[in-house]
Amino acid sequence: MEYRKFMRGSVPEFPRGTRFPERLALRSGDEETELSWLQHTASGAVVFVMSAGCEACDLDAAVGFMEERPELDYLLLAEASEAEHELLAKELAPFPCRVERCEISAVAERTPIKIIPFMIVLDRDGFAVGSGLFNTTLDAAAHARSLGANGRAVEAGV
């Protein structure tokens, strides 16, 4: 895959046990966006970070995952034009997914998110239990395997 070439051995992650920010400036020069709702969900949440101009970013992978895990809440941080943002919001309207426009560089300044398409799986209190690159529904499911149905992290069995 072309987008992974430059990584050569590094595995980007949002550190497990790190709480997702309550507020985050999503675009340069903008005020911070309130995201504290991610720390108060019934079953957990997933934050997808994608760009409309990214060849590796496949919204269908995120949608497939949302269909598999409808109990979760979702946030899509999308680097997109206003028109693209509106289309994304319409496409994701059937899901419990908020869509926010962002600049990846602005998000990268305040978080460990440095590459896309990226996802962070949060427990119901907003702590990361999984993260990583994804471009298939199977990738997304693998990152979320440590999130139980009750919104708490589950430890891998031996």
Give the residue among 49, 84, 52, 48 at the shortest CA–CA distance from 66: 48
Q: What architecture does CATH give domain 42-144?
A: 3-Layer(aba) Sandwich (3.40)
Q: What is the pLDDT of residues 74-84, one digit of tens each?
A: 999 999 999 99
Q: What angle do CA 70, 106, 114 make, to 5 degrees?
A: 70
Burial of 8 (0-12, 13-18, 19+ CB in 10 A): exposed
Any idea which of 55-69, 111-125, 140-154 has the lowest mean pLDDT?
140-154
pTM over 0.75: yes
